[in-house]
Amino acid sequence: MSKVILENFKEIQLAIPDHVKLVAVSKTKPIEAIQVLHDAGQRIFGENRVQELVEKHELLPEDIKWHLIGHLQRNKVKYIAPFVDMIHSIDSERLLDEVNSQAEKNNRKIKVLLQFFIATEETKFGFDWNEINELFSIRNPEIFESIEFCGVMGMASFSNNQNQVRNEFKKLKQIFDQLKQTYFSSSSSFLEISMGMSGDYQMAIDEGSTMIRVGSSLFGSR
Protein backbone atom coordinates (compact mmCIF):
# COMPACT_ATOMS: atom_id res chain seq x y z
CA MET A 1 0.00 0.00 0.00
CA SER A 2 2.63 2.52 1.06
CA LYS A 3 4.66 1.99 -2.11
CA VAL A 4 1.74 2.98 -4.29
CA ILE A 5 0.97 6.01 -2.13
CA LEU A 6 4.56 7.21 -2.38
CA GLU A 7 4.58 6.73 -6.15
CA ASN A 8 1.36 8.70 -6.46
CA PHE A 9 2.80 11.42 -4.24
CA LYS A 10 5.94 11.78 -6.39
CA GLU A 11 3.87 11.88 -9.55
CA ILE A 12 1.64 14.68 -8.22
CA GLN A 13 4.59 16.65 -6.87
CA LEU A 14 6.15 16.54 -10.34
CA ALA A 15 2.91 17.58 -11.98
CA ILE A 16 2.25 20.71 -9.93
CA PRO A 17 4.18 23.98 -10.01
CA ASP A 18 5.97 25.31 -6.91
CA HIS A 19 3.37 27.97 -6.12
CA VAL A 20 0.57 25.37 -5.80
CA LYS A 21 0.02 23.77 -2.39
CA LEU A 22 -1.11 20.17 -2.10
CA VAL A 23 -3.78 19.33 0.46
CA ALA A 24 -3.65 15.55 0.91
CA VAL A 25 -7.28 14.56 1.49
CA SER A 26 -7.08 11.70 3.97
CA LYS A 27 -10.77 11.24 4.85
CA THR A 28 -11.70 7.60 5.53
CA LYS A 29 -8.01 6.63 5.21
CA PRO A 30 -6.12 5.00 8.11
CA ILE A 31 -3.50 6.63 10.32
CA GLU A 32 -0.77 4.48 8.72
CA ALA A 33 -1.42 5.89 5.27
CA ILE A 34 -1.15 9.45 6.58
CA GLN A 35 2.05 8.57 8.44
CA VAL A 36 3.60 7.30 5.20
CA LEU A 37 3.02 10.64 3.48
CA HIS A 38 4.12 12.57 6.54
CA ASP A 39 7.41 10.66 6.55
CA ALA A 40 7.81 11.60 2.90
CA GLY A 41 7.48 15.28 3.78
CA GLN A 42 3.81 16.09 3.24
CA ARG A 43 2.45 18.40 5.96
CA ILE A 44 -1.02 19.59 4.89
CA PHE A 45 -3.82 17.06 5.30
CA GLY A 46 -7.53 17.64 4.67
CA GLU A 47 -10.50 15.99 6.36
CA ASN A 48 -14.19 16.60 5.82
CA ARG A 49 -15.61 15.39 9.13
CA VAL A 50 -14.95 17.00 12.51
CA GLN A 51 -14.88 13.84 14.60
CA GLU A 52 -12.46 12.08 12.27
CA LEU A 53 -10.27 15.18 12.18
CA VAL A 54 -10.13 15.38 15.97
CA GLU A 55 -9.29 11.68 16.34
CA LYS A 56 -6.53 11.78 13.74
CA HIS A 57 -5.08 14.98 15.18
CA GLU A 58 -4.65 13.24 18.53
CA LEU A 59 -2.82 10.26 17.04
CA LEU A 60 -0.54 11.91 14.50
CA PRO A 61 2.50 14.24 14.65
CA GLU A 62 2.00 17.77 15.94
CA ASP A 63 3.54 19.43 12.91
CA ILE A 64 0.71 18.38 10.60
CA LYS A 65 -1.37 21.29 9.33
CA TRP A 66 -4.96 20.07 9.46
CA HIS A 67 -7.42 21.56 7.00
CA LEU A 68 -11.17 21.13 7.39
CA ILE A 69 -12.55 20.96 3.86
CA GLY A 70 -16.11 19.67 4.33
CA HIS A 71 -19.32 21.33 5.45
CA LEU A 72 -19.00 22.53 9.05
CA GLN A 73 -21.82 22.81 11.57
CA ARG A 74 -21.59 25.69 14.01
CA ASN A 75 -21.93 23.51 17.11
CA LYS A 76 -18.80 21.58 16.11
CA VAL A 77 -16.43 24.48 15.60
CA LYS A 78 -15.35 24.34 19.26
CA TYR A 79 -13.81 20.88 18.81
CA ILE A 80 -11.36 21.95 16.10
CA ALA A 81 -10.77 25.58 17.08
CA PRO A 82 -7.76 24.81 19.33
CA PHE A 83 -5.67 23.27 16.56
CA VAL A 84 -7.13 23.50 13.05
CA ASP A 85 -4.79 25.26 10.61
CA MET A 86 -7.33 26.29 7.99
CA ILE A 87 -11.07 25.97 7.38
CA HIS A 88 -11.92 25.86 3.66
CA SER A 89 -15.66 25.69 4.06
CA ILE A 90 -16.93 28.98 5.49
CA ASP A 91 -20.35 29.22 3.86
CA SER A 92 -22.43 31.51 6.10
CA GLU A 93 -22.19 34.63 8.21
CA ARG A 94 -23.24 32.73 11.33
CA LEU A 95 -20.48 30.18 10.83
CA LEU A 96 -17.98 32.98 10.37
CA ASP A 97 -19.13 34.55 13.66
CA GLU A 98 -18.79 31.25 15.48
CA VAL A 99 -15.29 30.56 14.14
CA ASN A 100 -14.25 34.09 15.11
CA SER A 101 -15.57 33.68 18.62
CA GLN A 102 -14.04 30.21 19.14
CA ALA A 103 -10.69 31.41 17.80
CA GLU A 104 -10.80 34.29 20.27
CA LYS A 105 -11.54 31.90 23.12
CA ASN A 106 -8.45 29.93 22.16
CA ASN A 107 -6.32 33.05 21.89
CA ARG A 108 -5.47 32.40 18.29
CA LYS A 109 -6.31 33.41 14.77
CA ILE A 110 -7.88 30.83 12.50
CA LYS A 111 -7.19 30.91 8.76
CA VAL A 112 -10.29 30.59 6.62
CA LEU A 113 -11.35 30.38 2.99
CA LEU A 114 -14.74 31.60 1.87
CA GLN A 115 -16.55 28.83 0.03
CA PHE A 116 -18.45 29.82 -3.11
CA PHE A 117 -21.20 27.99 -4.86
CA ILE A 118 -19.96 27.57 -8.43
CA ALA A 119 -21.53 24.23 -9.41
CA THR A 120 -24.93 23.36 -10.78
CA GLU A 121 -25.77 20.76 -8.12
CA GLU A 122 -28.07 21.99 -5.39
CA THR A 123 -26.33 19.70 -2.91
CA LYS A 124 -23.20 21.83 -2.77
CA PHE A 125 -22.68 24.66 -0.30
CA GLY A 126 -21.33 28.17 -0.53
CA PHE A 127 -21.90 31.91 -0.83
CA ASP A 128 -22.66 33.73 -4.03
CA TRP A 129 -21.15 37.11 -4.88
CA ASN A 130 -24.19 39.14 -3.80
CA GLU A 131 -24.32 37.53 -0.38
CA ILE A 132 -20.69 38.14 0.41
CA ASN A 133 -20.82 41.66 -0.98
CA GLU A 134 -23.80 42.45 1.20
CA LEU A 135 -22.10 40.95 4.27
CA PHE A 136 -18.80 42.80 3.86
CA SER A 137 -20.38 46.11 2.89
CA ILE A 138 -22.15 46.07 6.26
CA ARG A 139 -19.46 44.36 8.32
CA ASN A 140 -15.97 45.03 7.04
CA PRO A 141 -13.76 41.91 7.17
CA GLU A 142 -11.51 43.65 9.72
CA ILE A 143 -14.32 43.33 12.27
CA PHE A 144 -13.57 39.61 12.51
CA GLU A 145 -10.47 40.10 14.61
CA SER A 146 -9.63 36.44 15.21
CA ILE A 147 -10.01 35.40 11.61
CA GLU A 148 -7.35 35.48 8.95
CA PHE A 149 -9.02 35.61 5.56
CA CYS A 150 -6.80 33.63 3.18
CA GLY A 151 -8.90 33.36 0.04
CA VAL A 152 -11.66 31.32 -1.56
CA MET A 153 -12.65 27.70 -2.12
CA GLY A 154 -15.02 26.06 -4.57
CA MET A 155 -16.15 22.69 -5.82
CA ALA A 156 -16.90 22.27 -9.50
CA SER A 157 -19.82 20.22 -10.74
CA PHE A 158 -19.43 16.46 -10.80
CA SER A 159 -19.51 16.36 -14.58
CA ASN A 160 -17.68 15.01 -17.60
CA ASN A 161 -18.34 18.27 -19.39
CA GLN A 162 -14.85 19.78 -19.36
CA ASN A 163 -16.09 23.11 -20.63
CA GLN A 164 -18.56 23.46 -17.82
CA VAL A 165 -15.99 22.57 -15.16
CA ARG A 166 -13.49 25.01 -16.67
CA ASN A 167 -16.07 27.80 -16.64
CA GLU A 168 -16.82 27.12 -12.99
CA PHE A 169 -13.12 27.41 -12.14
CA LYS A 170 -12.97 30.66 -14.11
CA LYS A 171 -15.94 31.94 -12.15
CA LEU A 172 -14.19 31.25 -8.82
CA LYS A 173 -11.04 33.01 -10.03
CA GLN A 174 -13.16 36.03 -10.97
CA ILE A 175 -14.80 36.09 -7.58
CA PHE A 176 -11.39 35.90 -5.92
CA ASP A 177 -10.06 38.81 -7.99
CA GLN A 178 -13.14 40.90 -7.29
CA LEU A 179 -13.05 40.20 -3.55
CA LYS A 180 -9.35 40.96 -3.35
CA GLN A 181 -9.82 44.24 -5.16
CA THR A 182 -12.90 45.30 -3.20
CA TYR A 183 -12.20 44.15 0.37
CA PHE A 184 -8.70 42.72 0.68
CA SER A 185 -6.47 44.99 -1.38
CA SER A 186 -4.25 45.73 1.62
CA SER A 187 -4.26 42.17 2.97
CA SER A 188 -1.05 40.16 2.77
CA SER A 189 -2.83 36.87 3.48
CA PHE A 190 -5.71 36.87 0.98
CA LEU A 191 -3.84 34.80 -1.61
CA GLU A 192 -5.37 31.35 -2.01
CA ILE A 193 -7.76 29.82 -4.50
CA SER A 194 -8.58 26.30 -3.32
CA MET A 195 -9.93 24.44 -6.33
CA GLY A 196 -9.21 21.18 -8.11
CA MET A 197 -9.47 17.56 -6.93
CA SER A 198 -8.13 14.23 -8.23
CA GLY A 199 -9.99 14.37 -11.52
CA ASP A 200 -9.49 18.00 -12.43
CA TYR A 201 -6.54 19.54 -10.59
CA GLN A 202 -4.50 20.07 -13.76
CA MET A 203 -7.27 22.16 -15.26
CA ALA A 204 -7.81 23.98 -11.98
CA ILE A 205 -4.14 24.97 -11.89
CA ASP A 206 -4.42 26.27 -15.46
CA GLU A 207 -7.29 28.44 -14.26
CA GLY A 208 -5.44 29.91 -11.29
CA SER A 209 -5.69 27.43 -8.43
CA THR A 210 -3.09 27.85 -5.68
CA MET A 211 -4.27 24.94 -3.55
CA ILE A 212 -5.47 21.56 -4.78
CA ARG A 213 -7.33 19.02 -2.65
CA VAL A 214 -6.37 15.53 -3.74
CA GLY A 215 -7.65 12.31 -2.17
CA SER A 216 -8.15 9.28 -4.38
CA SER A 217 -5.24 9.99 -6.75
CA LEU A 218 -2.96 9.84 -3.72
CA PHE A 219 -4.44 7.23 -1.41
CA GLY A 220 -6.46 5.17 -3.88
CA SER A 221 -10.22 5.17 -4.30
CA ARG A 222 -12.51 5.26 -1.29
Ligand X SMILES: *Cc1c(COP(=O)(O)O)cnc(C)c1O
Q: Which of residues 67-106 bind ligand X (CB under 6 A)?
A: 69-70
Selected binder of ligand X within 25, 64, 114, 204 (CB under 6 A): 25
Phi and psi angles of residue 89, each rounded to the nearest 5 degrees, phi first: -115, 45
Which part of the chain contacts ligand X (CB under 6 A), choosing from 127-135, 157-165, 185-193, 212-220? 212-220
CA atoms within 13 A on the CB side of 100: 15
Contacts of 196 (CB under 8 A, 6+ apart): 169, 202, 203, 204, 205, 209, 212, 213, 214
Q: Does 108 bind ligand X (CB under 6 A)?
A: no
Q: Does 49 interact with ligand X (rule: CB under 6 A)?
A: no
Binding mask 171-210 for ligand X (x = CB under 6 A): --------------------------xxx-----------
In this chain, which of 48, 100, 102, 209 binds ligand X, going by CB under 6 A?
48
From 203, 88, 204, 103, select the one nearest 147 (Cα to Cα). Answer: 103
Cβ proximity to ligand X: between 69 and 152 the closer is 69
Q: Which is nearer to ligand X, 133 or 216 (CB)?
A: 216
Of 50 and 214, which has the nearer Cβ to ligand X? 214
159 contributes a contact to ligand X by CB under 6 A: no
Among the listed residues 27, 49, 78, 108, the single contact to ligand X using CB under 6 A = 27
Of 93, 98, 172, 193, nearest to 137 by C-alpha is 93
Q: Is the Cβ–Cβ distance between 110 and 81 less than 8 Å?
A: yes
Specify whether the CB–CB gap between 125 and 106 falls below 8 A.
no
Nearest CA to 102 among 117, 129, 121, 80?
80
The residue (of 8 and 102) whose beta carbon lies closer to ligand X is 8
Give me the residues that bind ligand X (CB under 6 A), please: 25, 27, 48, 69-70, 155, 197-199, 213-217
